Each structure stands twice: as C-alpha cells, then as structure tokens.
Amino acid sequence: MDKFDTDMNRVFTDPGGVNVNALDRLRFAKQVLLGLALICSAVFIAYGLEPDNAGLGHIFELIKIGALPLVTLVISFYFPSSTK
C-alpha cells in the first residue's frame, strides 16, 4: 500500500456519513463569505484606482460574473432544502 493511500472506511466509521452541525456550517459560511467580500472589495478598489489596467479589468469582470454564483452556492449550502 502506498504511503498516501488512506482507507476511508477507517477514517469515516459512521454509517450515515460525515455530519456537520449547524454551528459549523454557519461558521464555514461566514468565513467563505468574508473571504469573498475581502477579495471583491480589493479588486473593486484596485480597478477604481487603475481603470486602464487590462489585467484588472479582466479580473473585475470575472469577479462581477463569478461572485454572485459563489455567494448563492454558500447560502444554499447553509440553508439546504428540507424537502426530499
């Protein structure tokens, strides 16, 4: 057996899988949303200071198009659908 191989049955012994409680999900969601807010703010400020920079323009467009789906993904992870 390779030294990087891991027997997942020994790591996750609970038959129901990995359970993440609501407090941990909330903490994770806050951390991800805070990180996204910091990155978006930094890019918006940098683009405001240097609007002629083509690289910043592309990153600005990527943030505009990509940040909203990431935020909705995090929110949907924190508030999962209760219907099955």
60 in a domain, yes or no?
A: yes
> 15-65, pLDDT tens digit by residue?
766 677 878 888 887 888 888 889 888 998 999 999 999 999 999 899 888
Would 10 be classed as within a structural domain?
no
The reply to whether 30 falls in a domain is yes
Whole-angstrom Cα distance, residue 33 to residue 68? 11
Whether the per-residue pLDDT at 71 is higher than 90: the answer is: no
Would residue 64 count as lying in a domain? yes
Q: The domain containing residue 40 runs over which residues?
A: 20-78
Has residue 51 been placed in a domain? yes
- In the three-class reduction of DSSP (H, G, I as helix; E, B as strand; rest coil), residue 82 is classed as coil
Domain count, the chain: 1
Q: Tell me which residue of 37, 25, 39, 35 sits closest to 75, measured CA to CA.
A: 25
Two tokens at 46? 């940098």
- Total residue length of the chain: 84
Identify whether 3 is part of a domain: no
CA distance linking residue 62 with residue 37, whole number of Å: 14
